[in-house]
Amino acid sequence: MDRDLELRRQVCFALYSASRAVTDVYRPLLEELGLTYPQYLALLALWERGDAVPTVKELGEALHLDSGTLSPMLKRLEGAGLVGRYRSDRDERIVEVRLTDAGRALRRRVDDIPRRVARATGLSENELLALRDTLTRVTEAIHSTGAHPPAQKEK
């Protein structure tokens, strides 16, 4: 009785499994570049900003991550020579994250990765877009219902 709790019926388990499976596809591709998957996402956020220089906080908002996760990760990217971190002159609480030349150059080497991962999912282009949009709606629905995100807490 109560078949509602079967593992294979759970959307949450499908989501958890698929997320890890997709990361498994990225892992060997990124390993050649010395990157982990979250580091790759952070670089995507930096690359798409062009010359704009985000703060740790802005990066956290883009990635839905807090400083407890980002600070050590950015230190590792700094250690790898891909980014630099600089205290702002205007406001010394703020740290700006800048790509180094090596960090910018790395972008060329990831060009075909999204395509290769998309192929591995077995989904068509349209299915991928529909999936992405559904997932984005879910994330936004949860974040908007006063959930928790790395933003406001209770006052």
Chain contacts with DNA (rule: CB under 7 A): 16, 20, 23-24, 27, 36-39, 55-57, 60, 64-76, 85, 90-95, 148, 150, 155
To its own copies, the closest distance from the beta carbon of 116 in angstroms equals 12
Interacting partner of 121 out of its own copies, DNA, none (Cβ under 5 to 8 A depending on kind): its own copies
| Angstrom distance (rounded) from CA 42 to CA 45 | 5
Residue 112, phi then psi, degrees to nearest 5: -95, 0
| Angstrom distance (rounded) from CA 155 to CA 153 | 6
b (16+ CB within 10 A) / e for 15-27: eeeeeeeeeebbe
Binding site for its own copies (CB under 8 A): 2, 4-27, 37, 41, 44-45, 47-48, 62-64, 107, 110-111, 114-115, 117-118, 120-123, 127-128, 131-132, 134-139, 141-143, 145, 147-149
